[in-house]
Chains A and B, each alone.
Chain A
Amino acid sequence: MKTWEDSEWIFKINAAFTLLFFVLILSFILTLLIIRLYKNRRNRLKKIYEASAEEFINSYLFEEDIDRGVLVEKYEIENLKTNLQKKVFLKSLVGINENFKGESSIALKKLFHQLNLDAFLLKNLQKGDWDKQSRAIYLLAELSIKKNNLVATFLNAKRMEVREQAIYYYLKVSTGKPLEFFSRLTTDLTPWELIYVEDSLKYYYEGSMPDFSKWLDHKLISIVIFSIKMIAQFDQFENIPKVIPFVDHPDEKVRKQAIKTLCKLSCHDILGKLIDKFPKESTVIKKEIISAIMQLGIRVDLLAIKTHVSENDWSTKLAFERVEQHFNKLTA
């Protein structure tokens, strides 16, 4: 029988690799096991903390014959020692607050300050990772805690998640001025962020709608386009004269949105100007003008641009013919 020293080199390498992989697999399984055990313990603790938090919050809100100051002090010392305890408590606080209004909701906000949880959130905001920061902003928003200046610094954060929470904060907390944060933005909002703001204004915001013309001279193009769009969305007819100059804006996207908005607001006066501009415009804008003619004009308006539709520009030609068919059907 061969000893290790007598073995072939290839056999030695093979054996070494087998051993290495065996150790690696073992460590991998062990790591998984440790993570699982850690998670199980953490989940068990979370349940205990959750039950304790809910019991305490309900006692704080509804017990009548207790000294609330003593109750809070005792709870803070005994039950809010670790970050996990604070995190779970805040989750319960927000969960209960979501369902309550009136005195109870005010009392919950008071409790938040009494337990010095604002300091915990501010620490997370200033030193935490992006996930802690976005959670902290979310909690401040849910509890309507006024920290506008601090949250403003996250409106231009690198992480999209943090930026979204900062936007949410402003939409939720700023009473009467939901888009106050626009003036603090230094980077363009992404399409998703703009959709989010639009949806929040349409479905969740309860105050009076702001005058969107305030942001027509914003330095960020995305905000200008959004404002022009919202003028149409919320039927701000009084802003038509302020939108008209934007059909001459150097940015094609701005011009396109301005035409869309003016069409939606049935601004017939713009048609002459659009027809005059047609020969010098890009394909995208030409198509938009053709669409505007369909909505606001008559067949004669369409014929006025016919000679400027190039034979080689197939998409414009197609748009033209569609509108021509539309007018043909109307006259038939």
Chain B
Amino acid sequence: MKDRILIVEDNSMVVKSLHFKLTKDGYETVVASDGREALKVLKEQTFHLLITDLMLPFVSGIELIEFVKNNIPDLPIIVLSTSTQEEVIMDAFNLGVEDFITKPFSPNELSLRVRRTLQKK
């Protein structure tokens, strides 16, 4: 069975590229374009990894991470954000995210980090 990844990102170009790359890498991806949609999908389906932005409409990335850590603690999270502020990165790690990647990012590097995170699990 393929590992299932939920991508939460409001930039459609990034979403399409991530979906394309991760599908090529052999994963099954589901996309949510905002935090509210992500919460709905998370309640209905099972995933092996969550890749999320922090700046999201309706429900922020931080709120989404808090929800996951409280309700699906086994689901690893990779944050993909434009923020390079140390405070934001520390906040995310303190909430328990597995990895933090800043945009602009290297898709190959992301692919490696996804594989490593899923292997750790």
The residue of chain B having its C-beta at the shortest distance from the C-beta of A63 within the complex is B24
The residue of chain B having its C-beta at the shortest distance from the C-beta of A98 within the complex is B104
Known pairs A99-B103, A102-B109 / 16 extra A-B pairs, C-beta < 8 Å:
A54-B16, A58-B16, A58-B21, A59-B20, A61-B107, A62-B20, A62-B21, A62-B107, A96-B17, A100-B17, A100-B104, A101-B105, A102-B108, A103-B108, A104-B106, A104-B108
Which residues from chain A contact B105 at a C-beta distance below 8 Å? 99-101
A99 to B109, Cβ gap below 8 A?
no
Render A53-77 as a binary contact track against B, CB cut-off 8 A, 1 for contact: 0110111011110000000000000
- The answer, yes or no, to whether B14 is at the interface (CB within 8 Å) is yes
- In Å, the complex CA distance between A46 and B24 comes to 27
Which residues from chain B contact A58 at a C-beta distance below 8 Å? 16-17, 20-21
- The answer, yes or no, to whether A283 is at the interface (CB within 8 Å) is no
- In Å, the complex CA distance between A64 and B105 comes to 20
Q: Is chain B's binding surface mostly helix, strand, loop or mixed?
A: helix
- In Å, the complex CA distance between A312 and B16 comes to 71
Render B101-116 as a binary contact track against A, CB cut-off 8 A, 1 for contact: 0011111110000000
Which residues from chain B contact A95 at a C-beta distance below 8 Å? 13
- The answer, yes or no, to whether A124 is at the interface (CB within 8 Å) is no
- The answer, yes or no, to whether B11 is at the interface (CB within 8 Å) is yes
A interface residues (Cβ-Cβ under 8 A, vs B): 54-55, 57-59, 61-64, 92, 95-96, 98-105
The residue of chain A having its C-beta at the shortest distance from the C-beta of B107 within the complex is A104
Tell me the minimal C-beta distance from A26 to chain B in angstroms. Answer: 41
Q: Is chain A's binding surface mostly helix, strand, loop or mixed?
A: helix
Which residues from chain B contact A105 at a C-beta distance below 8 Å? 104
Which residues from chain B contact A57 at a C-beta distance below 8 Å? 17
- In Å, the complex CA distance between A54 and B15 comes to 11
- In Å, the complex CA distance between A104 and B11 comes to 18
Which residues from chain A contact B109 at a C-beta distance below 8 Å? 102
- In Å, the complex CA distance between A105 and B106 comes to 8
A64 to B13, Cβ gap below 8 A?
no
B106 to A101, Cβ gap below 8 A?
yes
Supposing A61-B17, A95-B13 touch, asked if A100 and B107 sit within 8 A by C-beta, the answer is yes
Tell me the minimal C-beta distance from B26 to chain A in angstroms. Answer: 12
Tell me the minimal C-beta distance from A60 to chain B in angstroms. Answer: 11
Which residues from chain A contact B16 at a C-beta distance below 8 Å? 54-55, 58
B9-54 at interface with A (beta carbon < 8 Å): 11, 13-14, 16-17, 20-21, 24
- In Å, the complex CA distance between A101 and B107 comes to 8
